[in-house]
């Protein structure tokens, strides 16, 4: 496995199981929904983390489905923490290990990883996370972004995209669903000046795997934002989860990139972007949207993508054409 470095991994765009570690750290028997993109992501992120690691995990779907007393699906030492203090617990772990090592009571420093959902990260745990990033703790934070508070019944978060239906952003005569734009948590992490920030998605396993490895190996704080398809909350067919992750990238809705010491780089560069509607139309949470809202999302997506390309210094792909009729119906 080790002979396949990051650059080589880019040559593969299909999943080749024999190239990846066989050892499982997130075992079968957990109670995640069928087609859960987040459980798939956890499985591969924990493989990339490997041995000698401690995980602090916020409450949320991945805690609820995996740690029903007296069972656990986690093979790593794993601490369930409250929403507000996930990154604070990771800070304490990292500092404690360092002091034990200094006193000669610990031969090797364990890797410290914190994990939380989008609600736990972009809303409730943001203050502790910001503090930990700013203080420069040597840890990796992974956000599982399924774009709502899913395990408590699909309530909107600040990471829910514009137009999406949730139980607290219901569409109707007076509303189109979520009326605000998704919070740019990646830009917030980058603004802390930390050495490693990346977006990832389990539909691109090699990309995800090597980003986690880089994050873990980076001294200082690292942040990885993982798009995690949720068929239950997104009202999508369970067998389309991997496809939906790929469509998020291919439409420019969720570009895959990394920011190393402030330098942006696209890690997956689609030569041609697909129309955003290819992504929207197979999710029930966007079913109520009219052409004009779909055109608005298309324009917003392209504008954000162009800004990102400029930061990456990447070449422009072929953009989908927004038809005149869509513009006129505005
Ligand atoms: C301070 C606090 N508020 C509310 C809750 C109830 N609660 C538990 S999990 C959850 C939703 C978590 O959403 P997210 O972080 O996005 O994780 P997901 O369930 O989507 O994986 C909520 C609201 C709580 N445990 N603590
Ligand atoms: Mg969530």
Q: What is the mean pLDDT of the chain?
A: 93
pLDDT tens for residues 64-119?
999 998 999 999 999 999 999 999 999 999 999 999 999 999 999 999 999 999 99
Tell me, using a 6 A CB cutoff, whether residue 133 lines ligand 1.
no
Q: Let me know: does 232 contact 243? Beta carbons within 8 Å.
A: no
Choose among 305, 270, 277, 309: nearest CA to 291.
277
Q: Is the CB of 146 under 6 A from ligand 1?
A: yes
User: Quick check: CB of 138 below 6 Å from ligand 1?
Assistant: no
Domain boundaries, the chain: 30-328
What average pLDDT does this structure show over 274-301? Answer: 97
Minimum-distance ligand to the CA of 36?
Answer: 1
**Ligand 1: which of 37, 117, 153 to mutate, judged by most atoms within 8 Å of the beta carbon?**
117
3 has a pLDDT exceeding 70: no
pLDDT in tens, 180-215: 999 999 999 999 999 999 999 999 999 999 999 999
Residue 152 CB–ligand 1 contact under 6 Å:
yes
Average pLDDT over residues 126-145: 98
Residue nearest to atom 26 of ligand 1 (CA): 83
Options 3.40.50.1110, 3.40.50.970, 3.40.50.720, 3.10.310.30; CATH for 30-328 is 3.40.50.970
Residue 320, pLDDT score: 84
pLDDT of residue 14: 55
What is the rounded radius of gyration, in angstroms, for the C-alpha atoms of the chain?
Answer: 20
Dist CA 39 CA 73 (whole Å) = 11
Dist. CA 85–CA 83, nearest whole Å: 6
> Is the pLDDT score of 317 beyond 50?
yes
User: What's the pLDDT tens digit per position in 40-61?
Assistant: 999 999 999 999 999 999 999 9
pTM above 0.85, yes or no: yes
The alpha carbon of 152 and the centre of ligand 1 are apart by a number of angstroms equal to 7
Residue 310 has pLDDT above 70, yes or no: yes
Distance 151 CA to ligand 2 centre (A): 8
Q: How does residue 315 score in pLDDT terms, banded at 50, 70 and 90?
A: confident
Give percent above pLDDT 90 in the chain.
Answer: 88
The Å distance, Cα 157 to ligand 1 centre, comes to: 10
Q: Ligand 2 centroid vs 31 CA: distance in angstroms?
A: 16
**Minimal-distance CA residue to ligand 1 atom 13:** 149
């Amino acid at each position: 496995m080790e002979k396949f470095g990051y650059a080589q991994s880019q040559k593969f765009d299909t999943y080749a199981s024999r190239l990846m570690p066989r050892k499982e750290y997130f075992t079968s028997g957990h109670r995640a929904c069928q087609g859960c993109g987040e459980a798939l992501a956890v499985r591969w992120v924990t493989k990339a983390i490997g041995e000698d690691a401690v995980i602090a995990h916020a409450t949320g779907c991945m805690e609820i489905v995996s740690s029903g007393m007296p069972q656990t699906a986690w093979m790593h030492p794993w601490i369930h923490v409250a929403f507000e203090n996930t990154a604070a617990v990771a800070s304490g772990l990292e500092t404690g290990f360092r002091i034990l090592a200094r006193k000669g009571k610990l031969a090797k420093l364990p890797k410290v990883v914190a994990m939380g959902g989008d609600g736990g990260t972009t809303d409730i745990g943001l203050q502790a996370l910001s503090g930990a990033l700013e203080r420069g703790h040597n840890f990796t934070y992974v956000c599982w972004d399924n774009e709502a508070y899913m395990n408590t019944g699909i309530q909107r978060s600040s990471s829910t995209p514009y137009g999406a239906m949730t139980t607290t952003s219901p569409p109707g005569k007076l509303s189109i669903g979520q009326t605000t734009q998704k919070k740019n948590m990646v830009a917030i992490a980058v603004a802390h000046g930390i050495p490693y920030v990346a977006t990832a998605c389990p539909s691109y396993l090699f990309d995800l795997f090597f980003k986690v490895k880089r994050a873990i190996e980076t001294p200082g704080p690292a942040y990885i934002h993982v798009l995690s398809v949720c068929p239950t909350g997104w009202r999508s067919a369970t067998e389309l989860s991997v496809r939906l992750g790929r469509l998020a990238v291919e439409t420019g809705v969720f570009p895959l990139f990394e920011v190393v010491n402030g330098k942006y780089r696209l890690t997956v560069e689609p030569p041609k972007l697909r129309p955003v509607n290819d992504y929207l139309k197979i999710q029930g949470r966007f079913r109520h949207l009219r052409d004009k809202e779909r055109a608005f999302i298309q324009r917003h997506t392209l504008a954000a993508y162009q800004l990102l390309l400029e930061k990456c210094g990447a070449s422009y792909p072929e953009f989908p054409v927004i038809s005149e009729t869509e513009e006129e119906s505005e």
